[in-house]
Amino acid sequence: MAFGRTRGVELKAEWERLPCGLGVLMTHTPPFGILDESRGKRLGCEELLRATKAVKPAVHVFGHIHAGYGTQSSTRTLFVNASSAREHHAEK
């Protein structure tokens, strides 16, 4: 949930409003499959993943999933899960 909307069609409409050419995108939740794993489950948003692929921000900073703390790079985007964690997690 983000913007008071549930995942799926409602959030897709919000993510589609993101402008192309963003330098930095900050969201609460991670995109699906990117630093979003906790207890063996992927918890990120599928529609946000599609939006980040379309918009291609230079940096996408998010949190929410503490176990996913760290960084990951794609061809065009540096993804940063900046959540603070209580346990030490090895860098990814």
13-23: per-residue pLDDT in tens? 889 999 998 99
pLDDT given at position 86: 59
Interval 54-91: pLDDT, tens = 999 999 999 989 888 999 999 999 999 999 865 555 55
Contact by Cβ (8 Å): 71, 92: yes
**26, amino acid identity:** M
Task: Assess whether pLDDT exceeds 80 at residue 1.
Answer: no
How many other β-carbons are positioned within 10 Å of the β-carbon of residue 58? 12
pTM (predicted TM-score)? 0.82
Residue entry with tokens 């402008």 = 19
Report the sign of the C-alpha dihedral through residues 54, 65, 69, 67, in that order.
negative
